[in-house]
Amino acid sequence: MRIDRALLIKSIFIISILFITNTCSSAAYAQWGTKPVLVVLYGADDYHSQFYIKALSDAGIKYDMWDMRSEGTATIAKFINYRRGAIVRIVNSRYENESRLTLNEVSDIMDFMGEGGSLLLIGQNMGEEFYNSPMMSYLKIDIQNKNAAAKQLHGVNNDFITSGLTLSTGGDGDGQAVSSCDVIIPYDNVEPLLYYDAAKTMAAAMKIQTCAFRAAYYGFGLEIIDGASARANLLYRTLDWLQGNTMAVGVEAPSFSLKMLDGASTSFINEAAIVAKGKICVLEFFATWCSSCSELRPRLAEIYSKYNKDIEIIAVSYNEKAETVNKYLQAHPEVSWKVYIDETGHGLQKYGVKGIPAIFIIDGIERRVRYIGANESAETISAEIEKLIKSKEEKSKFDKLNMPYGG
């Protein structure tokens, strides 16, 4: 009877641990669970459109097609179904007047982005309604029309999408010759992706990460790039960045490269082992310029003070200089936890982060993600931490029951 009773108690503890662990979750995960893509263009059967269709197929990207020639202009009612994934909006240089963005469409796309949707714009000469719209401020760019098309596109070192890329253009291969393309003038936190010149003074493509959305813009048509594999590779990399990986509760927390504020290189898994030392780890992705991150900061300070014996916070700044982060920390002494820099964005990518701030609570036993959130209340985050603390206590009791009698 004694053995049976002990087995019963152990079983109850196992069930309790499984229940507590599996109920650590978040509604925010639903935003990252699926990756639908909507491709909007004019004339799907057109010769230029076939470059995109083949690139999507070669890249293995599943997508829905909206042909403006037969279906008219897409609206927010259509776009909103793809806020968990991305919209690819293409302007066909052979049908510029018909395929350019109108002011109404721009407004609907901005609403879509405000809901957390990701956007890829492709094509030269998007149209005056686009260039004179608030979208330019939204994307934090200007456009210089136009640059005589270059013979190569040059990638950016350490960029998630284009690092190591040099793309031949202009029709020397199977790409289409074109007389001109848009030059992008980036501002603030906009990151150039490609340049028309080796000196990297004329940006050909850009990407932007904000608190709410991700977006990328090619100032040229994909058809100017020589080589089907090169076109597919660029499109795949861009959509991969726009959408991020799918992160799920219960997945082992992936590691990624980090820079310490003194310039030393390290990794998340290494720092989690050193800093957390078996504690619950709260991983935060943030940026010093992010207003939503500023709203979350005092809540995290409150949580860290309350649970400092049970948790450690590891904050990761997205693609900022150490000088900028250090000034931020001097201005906010309440940030008493460890802060690092993700120079390439690989961490955000691995965790499926499309908007910041993003919070991941990782248990100290198995190092698995147990909660995914964003700009949540202190009460919500605290409740998830309490679950993991209780789970750890139950496991400790279970381990004691497993000790040999008389031990």
User: For residue 343, is pLDDT > 70?
Assistant: yes
- Domain assignment present for residue 25? The answer is no
For residue 368, which amino acid is it? R
- Asked if residue 364 and residue 337 are part of one domain, the reply reads yes
What's the rounded mean pLDDT across residues 306-329?
A: 94
- Asked if residue 266 and residue 155 are part of one domain, the reply reads no
Last residue of a domain, one of 186, 219, 243: 243
- Asked if residue 174 and residue 52 are part of one domain, the reply reads yes
Separation CA 225–CA 170 (nearest Å) = 7
The confidence band for 94, taking pLDDT boundaries of 50, 70 and 90, is confident
Contact yes or no for 282/313 (Cβ under 8 A): yes
- Asked if residue 283 and residue 165 are part of one domain, the reply reads no
Last residue of a domain, one of 243, 260, 276: 243
CATH code (residue 376): 3.40.30.10
User: For residue 23, is pLDDT > 60?
Assistant: no
Q: How far is CA 188 from CA 64, 112, 126, 141, 249, in A?
A: 33, 22, 22, 9, 34
Domain of residue 228 covers: 36-243
Per the structure, how many domains does the chain have? 2
- Asked if residue 74 and residue 116 are part of one domain, the reply reads yes
Token representation of residue 42:
């004019």
Rounded to two decimals, the pTM is 0.72
- Asked if residue 235 and residue 285 are part of one domain, the reply reads no
- Asked if residue 268 and residue 231 are part of one domain, the reply reads no
**DSSP H or E segment with residue 134:** none
User: For residue 403, is pLDDT > 60?
Assistant: no
- Asked if residue 306 and residue 209 are part of one domain, the reply reads no
Separation CA 196–CA 185 (nearest Å) = 12
- Asked if residue 233 and residue 283 are part of one domain, the reply reads no
- Asked if residue 203 and residue 85 are part of one domain, the reply reads yes
Last residue of a domain, one of 243, 267, 287: 243
- Asked if residue 196 and residue 252 are part of one domain, the reply reads no
- Domain assignment present for residue 43? The answer is yes
If one counts every other C-beta atom within 10 angstroms of the C-beta of residue 405, the result is 7
Q: How does pLDDT run across 282-304, given as a tens digit for each residue?
A: 999 999 999 899 999 999 999 99
**DSSP H or E segment with residue 141:** strand 141-148
The β-bridge relationship of strands 86-90 and 37-41 is parallel
Contacts of 403 (CB under 8 A, 6+ apart): none
Q: How does pLDDT run across 234-269, given as a tens digit for each residue?
A: 999 999 888 876 677 888 999 999 999 999 999 999
Q: How does pLDDT run across 194-217, given as a tens digit for each residue?
A: 999 899 999 999 999 887 888 999
- Asked if residue 324 and residue 185 are part of one domain, the reply reads no
If one counts every other C-beta atom within 10 angstroms of the C-beta of residue 101, the result is 23
Token representation of residue 175:
């790409």
User: For residue 313, is pLDDT > 70?
Assistant: yes
Select the more confidently predicted residue: 330 or 116.
Answer: 330
